[in-house]
Amino acid sequence: MPVDHGVELYWEQRGRGPRLLFCNGSGLTLQDIRPLLDPLTASFDLLGWDYRGFGRSAPVMRPYTMADVAADAAGLLEIAERLTAAGQDQQDPPAVAAQATQLQAREGHDVWDRLGAITCPTLVGYGNYDGIAPVHNSTNIASRIRGAELHGYEGGHGFLFQDPAALPAFIAFLQAPSS
């Protein structure tokens, strides 16, 4: 949905309670941070969005500044206020419902006992400063997969985008001939 200054942004407004504007970390989308957002909707009217050029927002056609991002946030708040005053919710309820259904399906997904059955070359990567998936999770996963390579990278949950060495290392791993 476009904000007033003509930028096409994907955004969601969910939950009940006082309005909470949620600003993603750099390089992250709403989908990336869904586990952080869902608990907030029990207590807040949560308004979150994918920054320009990220996730489901329209591609970026020119450079922008943090002042532009602040203007995006202000524009979203104005739109949310107008919709609330008119008694309307955001205009894409099927997409929100589909995402909620997918997250519910993931909730009970547990493959811990089957990790040992993996026989292909496996690289388990992690961000050294990941607050969502701690290092010990990756260490435990790699310990269950015979021959798995375990590598830490500078960054958090978005380490593939934060550490310039990470993505090339993953590509090289995927392109390496299997032995």
pLDDT recorded at residue 126: 95
What is the structure's pLDDT at 89?
53
| Residues 135-156 pLDDT 10s | 999 999 999 999 999 999 998 8
| pLDDT exceeds 90 at position 95 | no
Query: Does residue 94 carry a pLDDT above 60?
Result: no
The Cα–Cα gap between 61 and 126 comes to: 32
Q: Which residue type does 131 have?
A: G
pLDDT band at 92 (very low <50, low <70, confident <90, very high): low
Q: Give the bridge partners for 61, in sequence order.
A: none
State the DSSP H helix or E strand holding residue 66, giving kind and residue range, or none if neither. Answer: helix 66-85
For residue 67, the one-letter residue type is A
pLDDT > 90: percent of the chain: 26
| CA angle in degrees (0–180, nearest 5) for 112-115-116 | 125
How far is residue 12's CA from residue 15's CA, in Å, rounded to a whole number?
Answer: 10
pLDDT given for residue 146 in this prediction: 96
Confidence band (pLDDT; 50, 70, 90) for 105? low
Percent of the chain with pLDDT over 70: 84
Distance CA(20)–CA(17), nearest Å, equals 9
Average model confidence (pLDDT) for the chain? 82
- C-beta of residue 19 within 8 angstroms of C-beta of residue 25: no
Q: In this predicted model, which residue has the larger pLDDT, 79 or 89? A: 79
